[in-house]
Structure 1
Amino acid sequence: MVDQPFEAMDAWIEYFGTVDMPILRQTARRLEEARQSIDRVNGREIAAIVLQDPLLAIKVLAYIQRFQGKRLHSDITTIANAVMMLGVEPFFAHFEAPTTIETLLKDEPQALLGVLHVIRRVQRASRYAHDWAFERHDMNIEEVELAALLHDLAEILLWCFAPQLAIEIRRRQQADPTLRSAAAQVEVLGIRLFDLQLALCDAWHLPELLKTLMDDANAGLARVRNVVLAVNLARHSANDWNNPALPDDFEAIEKLLHVDRPTLLARLNVPDEAAAQYLAPRHRPPRGDDQG
């Protein structure tokens, strides 16, 4: 575990390159159940399990990149293709007996709650991203879904391996609601988590396409906008449907999907009581956001 921030980005990269990436206990249980039926399970079913767990997803992607230039003739940008490339039996052989997040953080209850909160949020974002990519007839839905799942990877890693630093960032933001995420990260870590994430993508030789899809700066591209809006909506609705940033989210999603407000709220299953305020004429609460 890291108790004090490293002085340089390279030290963070080196550290995360040596850790054993944990996965969710539920994921480990589902993998073991699938392994017990190895003669019947297929790659698509395995991919469905992996796509619920951001840390297992990044483990699979990072591992498959080792074959670049050997067996791979093009980038592997989806979990389904990675599993197909590895084969079912080799997949289980390599990823058996994983460490779980719950075991890793058994003595850090605040951090465990913190990381599970982030993981639930990115799971939700990935579902939004998948559904909208399907509706947009995206050329490869899983790429968009995967990018949303991995969008906050560095934050998840921080909660797992530097829990006290993650707790301190959260404490500062709770003490000062105007403090943006990126500013709090720089205060505590000396770096932005987004910059760390891009550096990790480079170090692990992840496909350029996934890096593009995870980078909010590319939001001019419809596929990236799909990811960004899914991540924002999941973040802003994490606690309830009353976040003042939601009207702007809804407006942008309506433009992306070419739907009206009632249709969108119905698709998102926004409760009637909360939906009513967003259907009122000229509804515009003060703009607020927790993102840096």
Structure 2
Amino acid sequence: MIEVGNVYYFIELLIPVIVISVTYHLLKNKTLNFQYTYLFIWCLLGFILHFAKQLVYQDISQLSKSTAENICAVSTLVFPFIMMIKKKNVLHDFMFLIGLVGGGAGLLYPTEALGESLFTFETIRFYFCHMSLLAIPLLLALLNIREPDLKKWWVMPLLFLAYETIIMLNTALLTFTGLATREGFTPLQLFIDRQYLNNSFVFGPTPDMGIVGETIGNMTFPFMKTDIFNLTNGDEFYWPVIWLLIPSYIIFVPLYTVLALPFRKKHEVMSLEFV
């Protein structure tokens, strides 16, 4: 079984490194059209597998797992459509950021794979999809197909908030249609609860985040933690999505800069070679 720190955990970390390295060397001398088509088909496979997980659950109460329930799920669903945009777009830059961050985080802490066997369908699907989120944007950059643009740094947090809005609307759909339920909770209570259905922090840091959650929570304005409509009966309440505005700029601007900078330098070196 996979547990953080055991041999299977490190095997699953090594596989993406090998796959990305081998794929890069296989594609680097191919035509641009071949490279893009190859990566687009890879992206589509992740999209298909997101729905194929229902073959495992075969339970209508688990349909929520094939929706836009978290950051990586949204990425899996929208990446193929971003790749269909032929002209370089700021969405490609955000795809680079959220793919590396979300896919990398999923591989480092594989929540759905922990405690599972290495060779079950769901484990393979989980790792394939998260590896894809990391690998495809990275390969697009490494192959000089879609290099991240540092000039668009200020848009990254706003696009992240758009992601969070999609997740919030998806959570509303799940709770108010009864696709997601919990004993003792009304649909509204479940919708705004920070402990359940909140692994993307739409409604604030989760209780188990400890000092990390407290630190991120302190980055926002105090008034954005005010329960104006008394929805939580005095419990701490974060304004859904909006509370993330300041933390998103504090976290994602430097992170995007660090991730994109090597490709800017690479582009400058290549430009000098043609002078």
TM-score (norm 2): 0.32
TM-score (norm 1): 0.31
